[in-house]
Structure 1
Amino acid sequence: MKNKKSFLPLIITLLPIFYGLILWTKLPVELPIHFNINGEVDRYANKVWIIIIWPIIATLLHLFLIIYRTKIVARSQNNKMHTIISWSIPLGTNILLSYIFAYGLGSHINITSILLPTIGILFIALGNYMPKTQRNRFVGIRIPTALNNDVNWFKTQRIGGLMFVVGGFMMIGGGFLGMISEFWTIASMIVALVLITVIPIIYLIRSSHKA
Structure 2
Amino acid sequence: MTKKRFLWWSIPVLVLVLTATALVYRDLPDIIPIHWNAAGEANGYGARITIFLLPLITGLMMLLWPVLPTVSPDKFRVEGFSDTWWFGGLVMVALLAYVQGVQLAVLAHGALDIGRALLGGIGIAFVLLGNVLGKVKRNFWLGVRTPWTLASDRVWYSTHRLAGKTMVTGGLVVLAAALAGLPPYVSTAALLAGALVPVVYSLVYYKRLERAGGA
TM-score class normalised by the smaller sequence: 0.7 to 0.9
TM-aligned CA deviation for residue 115 of structure 1 = 1.7
Equivalent pair of 1:171/1:192 in contact (CA under 8 Å): no
After superposition, what is the alpha-carbon deviation per residue over 1:99-156, rounded to whole angstroms, capped at 9, x for unaligned?
A: 1221122333222212222222222222222222222222222223333333232212
Counterpart position of 2:21: 20
After superposition, what is the alpha-carbon deviation per residue over 1:13-43, rounded to whole angstroms, capped at 9, x for unaligned?
A: 2322212223344433333210012110112
TM-aligned CA deviation for residue 206 of structure 1 = 5.2
After superposition, what is the alpha-carbon deviation per residue over 1:45-84, rounded to whole angstroms, capped at 9, x for unaligned?
A: 233321x443133202220122113454746232133223
Answering whether residue 130 of structure 2 is matched by residue 127 of structure 1, we say yes
| Count of residue correspondences | 209
Answering whether residue 164 of structure 2 is matched by residue 161 of structure 1, we say yes
Higher mean C-alpha deviation, range 72-81 or range 33-42: 72-81
The letter for the 1-side match of 2:64 is: F
C-alpha spacing 1:185/1:194, structure 2 compared with 1 (3 Å):
same
TM-aligned CA deviation for residue 200 of structure 1 = 4.8
Counterpart position of 1:40: 41
C-alpha spacing 1:199/1:119, structure 2 compared with 1 (3 Å):
farther
Equivalent pair of 2:102/2:118 in contact (CA under 8 Å): no
What is the aligned-residue identity percentage? 22
Q: Distance in 2 between matches of 1:64 and 1:123?
A: 21
Answering whether residue 58 of structure 2 is matched by residue 58 of structure 1, we say yes
Q: TM-score, normalised to structure 2's length? A: 0.79
Q: TM-score, normalised to structure 1's length? A: 0.80
SS in 2 for 1:43: strand
Counterpart position of 2:154: 151
Equivalent pair of 1:123/1:168 in contact (CA under 8 Å): yes
RMSD of aligned alpha carbons? 2.9
